[in-house]
Amino acid sequence: MLDLSGRVAIITGATGILGQACAQAFGAARAHCVLVGGSADKLAALYRADANRLLAGGFDLALEADASRLVDMTLKQFGRIDILVNTVGGFAGGRKVHEDDLATWDAMHRINLRTTLNACRAVVPHFVRQGSGRIVNVAARAGLSGVAGLGAYGASKSAVIYLTQTLAAELKENGIGVNCVLPGTIDTPQNRRDMPNADFTKWVAPAAIADVMLFLASDAARAVSGAAVPVYGRS
């Protein structure tokens, strides 16, 4: 088992299905976890704060000030940050580009790209001063090539891939690794409701994605940066 004892990991989107899987995986690896969510009540319903776990509720990481406030809170509690895991995100699809409205494009870029961008921008100066750090972002399979009906979503996830690779290139001399995962269809209750006739056994489990993210955040992946790792299950 990978051991992150003494490491401090910020996990955004901690009330989501993938965020919960990451919280469990990183907690089991003995990391100090800062679990971030928009709702303090939802966080409190899912987790208990203790010496190794800080619950950071009421954050909207699409706002630059909230991302900065999160870093300040983490440093005040633990004195350092070693890992940033960005799982916050959302999905919308089903309409052709010329039929969709700009509000969908704005919403997808806000929740998928802007939150990741702000969180990265907030932690990177600390990582540079520290001379180390790991960032793991969540893009998507749909970010690799065009998919009918997924224009806004796919474009926002494609931007996350580009952001990841750009950060990796900019920070490679600073001891900072930046990677992302590309999930296929994730086996979640919502996806099962939306696609009741699909073969769920081919979908990728959130825990399986979290395991890959844990690896990318660990010293085992110290030579890996700029990677976009497919995590498709059998889909």
**162 is a catalytic site residue:** no
Instruction: Please identify which residue in the block is written with the tokens 């930046």.
Output: 178
Task: Tell me how many degrees the CA angle 23-29-34 measures, rounded to the nearest 5.
Answer: 40
Residue found under tokens 């030579």 = 223
CA distances from 196 to 76, 192, 207 (A): 46, 5, 21
| Measured distance CA(121)–CA(130) in Å, rounded | 15
What is the dihedral sign for C-alpha 6, 72, 218, 223? negative
Paired with 9 in beta bridges are 33, 83
In the set 47, 153, 162, 232, the catalytic residue is 153
Catalytic residues: 153
